A and B are shown apart, each in its own frame.
Chain A
């Protein structure tokens, strides 16, 4: 019973939907409600015929728009993950090495933004980045620039938005990992003549490998399919696959094409998800 209910729920609302998406990705766009052709059709002699239509997929592979969007999404997600690591690693490290009284407060400060709406936090950056926005006003009044910089609706704005929104997802698993670290190892290394940077590179970094990987996956995987941030900060030319899927569905009402995009995105991301799961399994095995 305890196992059965969640199992049934997830089978119905998590696994079954993918089967339907797969099915509809082989259908054809139709002017009907719902707007796609049925896959199984009764032909005249009471024979059930399966009509598989690979056009959606061949369309995705021939139109450069989709391939570019896929490649661009991977690139943006990868660079954002690296930037998150650059900003987040020292923070997680600093929190893990803080006194335990300040540590909880510092952690709370990381968690708080995560509890406030992503949409509102992304919206805040519009106010900061736009031509007559806060950053430009400050820079002009300091006399550093004379013309406002164009920041909003550029790739720069998109990277800022993604790093900003996903930073807590990277810091928290990394902190959980670093917190368990035996710091006497670092002291030993330094006693034996390692310089601080060498000790970090040789001891801290390899030992926090699982934290780095888990945090990076939590940023990279959702960022590839991100919709809100490119839609609000990236401008009309921000080709991200999540946005393409959204437009195919809502603007073009091309449900089969949207489904095919979803299936390809899923195929791309499943290896990373499995990798993430195996890291998690290793982490919890190590904790016991």
Chain B
């Protein structure tokens, strides 16, 4: 590459990554700050773990985290099933009535502003309660159903793109050898697209765990999720405990993502290795 051009590109990359990471690093650094004035570094008493202790004793945050965890796990498992089915239908059955509609419906939640999704789902739940008495009231059930509706779109995209790249000859061979479609799916297709299903699960978990807007619309009294508690705290001003929460989140995400991508890179090498 041309020298001047590569210097330009490298400085753009450096600027971009600094922009992406300085805010994150600042939260990590200030989570160890002793001062309650979050952004003023108290060098006499820092670094300290006192906000870590106070976060672990904060009942409100812990309760909310527990609710978020329940919703996120059920949501991730449900959306993986729905999203895999959708992705499979869209990439393997190229000609069926309603394919266009299914494709449009499955990808629209990706770009739909959250306030619209949240409001419309809440109004649906209210109407359903009036009509058939279920779901009674709003809470974990309604939040989970709403999260599944938008998370499955992401799973669909991930699964569909994985299915598009692998050779259908494998599936056809199994069918020719007499395997039933269901068996083909579980013995051939599933293991091959497993990395995509795993990323889909993690993605759906994260989307649900982080969601504020849709949860706010569809939750009920006593079922505040972690983002809802964080939002009400942040609105009142910065708080050192939020920095701690952010640091813990970032560490967990980094460990999981790096772990999974290393594992996938290895699995990919084995797959590509000549037999």
Contacts and interface: CB of A to CB of B under 8 A. Distances in A.
Given A21-B123, A108-B261, A117-B209, A7 B108 contact: no
Nearest to A113: B20
A211 interface: no
A134 interface: yes
B13 A106 contact: yes
A250 B231 CA distance: 15
Contacts of A118: 210, 212
Contacts of A14: 105, 108-109, 149
A135 B253 CA distance: 27
Given A109-B17, A128-B26, A284-B164, A3 B227 contact: no
A12 B135 CA distance: 14
Chain B contact surface mostly: helix
Interface residues of B, number: 88
A17 B111 contact: no
B123 A17 contact: yes
Interface stretch (A40-48, A50-58, A64-72, A258-266): A258-266
Given A116-B24, A245-B115, A265-B116, A88 B38 contact: no
Chain A contact surface mostly: helix
Contacts of B169: none
Nearest to B231: A119
Interface string B24-64: 10110010000001111000000000000000000000000
B69 interface: no
A210 B109 CA distance: 20
A227 B216 CA distance: 12
Contacts of A126: 234, 238
A224 interface: yes
B221 interface: no
Interface string B210-251: 101100110000000001001100110010001101100110
Interface string A230-272: 0110000000001001100110000100110010011001001
A262 B120 contact: yes
A7 B152 CA distance: 12
B115 A225 contact: yes
A15 B116 CA distance: 12
Contacts of A18: 120
Given A17-B123, A21-B123, A262-B115, A97 B9 contact: yes
B270 interface: no
Interface string A100-129: 000010101111110111111101111110
Contact of B230 (A24, A123, A269): A123
A120 B149 contact: no
16 contacts: A3-B85, A10-B149, A24-B123, A87-B16, A91-B13, A115-B206, A115-B253, A119-B234, A123-B27, A128-B26, A137-B39, A164-B20, A217-B111, A222-B113, A225-B116, A277-B107
Given A91-B16, A127-B26, A196-B2, 19 more contacts: A3-B93, A7-B101, A13-B124, A90-B9, A104-B265, A108-B261, A113-B24, A116-B249, A119-B234, A127-B23, A127-B238, A128-B22, A167-B19, A224-B113, A232-B235, A242-B115, A266-B116, A269-B113, A277-B104
Interface of B: 1-2, 4-5, 8-10, 12-13, 15-17, 19-24, 26-27, 30, 37-40, 82, 85-86, 88-89, 93, 96, 98, 101-116, 119-121, 123-124, 126-127, 130, 145-146, 148-149, 152, 164, 206, 209-210, 212-213, 216-217, 227, 230-231, 234-235, 238, 242-243, 245-246, 249-250, 253-254, 257-258, 261, 265
Nearest 5 interchain pairs by C-beta: A225-B113, A17-B120, A90-B12, A124-B23, A6-B86
